[in-house]
Amino acid sequence: MQLVPLFPLQIVVFPFEDLNLHIFEPRYRELVHDCREGDLLFGIPYFQDEHPMQYGTMVRLERIAKTYPDGKMDVVAKGVKPFEIQRYRKTYPEKLYPGGYVTDLYWEQEGDSLLRIAIRERLSGLYEHMNIQKWPDKFDEEFITFEIAHKVGLSQEQEYAFLQIVSEVERQQYIIDHLDRMVPMIKEAEDMRKKVQMNGHFKHILPPKV
């Protein structure tokens, strides 16, 4: 268990994720300064219903992209590993920003190649129905599910549950099950949209032969 700086946000951050943040509050500008000077990781727990949740992701400050005259900053960070909060502190010792005693959340990266292919096939169908042209980064490589989890239409509650899954194979199956539910609903909605658009048009309909 270790004490780390925390930056609660109303988003779920995953390992390997590239994260662009606009930092404006003085306490989090202090956090960025301390992490840069001490080469520290900081934790981003999912913030919901006015309080930080139990799980989040440790991130590394990659660089400060821009500093504004009033002290605000644009920073680039990268997700490293999931964690679990054992005890939350509203302030890190002698600092303005929050902190917490956390433990690393064990997780596996080795997935199943056939499940990976199944995800590609289903996501291809989803993107086709939604007329999305751009594929997720790394999707043509041996991707890990955390790298595409923001691209498959999960709700924030589902993303938070997904973060807690230890096994990569189970995460792969979670995405497959989600897409199997989602794609038919989107196809049905698209078919309905086309029918609505056709309403009022002259239709060439062959009458039945009776």
* Tokens read off for 151: 């691209």
* Tokens read off for 170: 């189970």
The distance in angstroms from the start CA to the end CA of the chain is 80
- pLDDT given for residue 138 in this prediction: 64
User: From CA 138, how far away is CA 131, in angstroms rounded?
Assistant: 20
Higher confidence at residue 204 or residue 77? 77
**Nearest 5°: CA angle at 34, between 32 and 40?**
90
- Judge contact between 123 and 138, C-beta under 8 A: no
pLDDT in tens, 92-139: 999 999 999 999 999 999 999 999 999 998 888 778 777 777 766 666
Reduced to 3 states (helix: H, G, I; strand: E, B; else coil), residue 200 is coil
Say which amino acid occupies 177. Answer: D
Higher confidence at residue 139 or residue 173? 173
User: From CA 145, how far away is CA 176, in angstroms rounded?
Assistant: 11
Say which amino acid occupies 58. Answer: M
pLDDT in tens, 17-67: 999 999 999 999 999 999 999 999 999 999 998 889 999 999 999 999 999
Place of tokens 């949209």: 193
Q: Residue 117 burial (CB < 10 Å; 0-12/13-18/19+)?
A: exposed
pLDDT in tens, 58-91: 999 999 999 999 999 999 999 999 999 999 999 9
Q: Name which of 163, 171, 143 is nearest 43 in CA terms.
A: 163
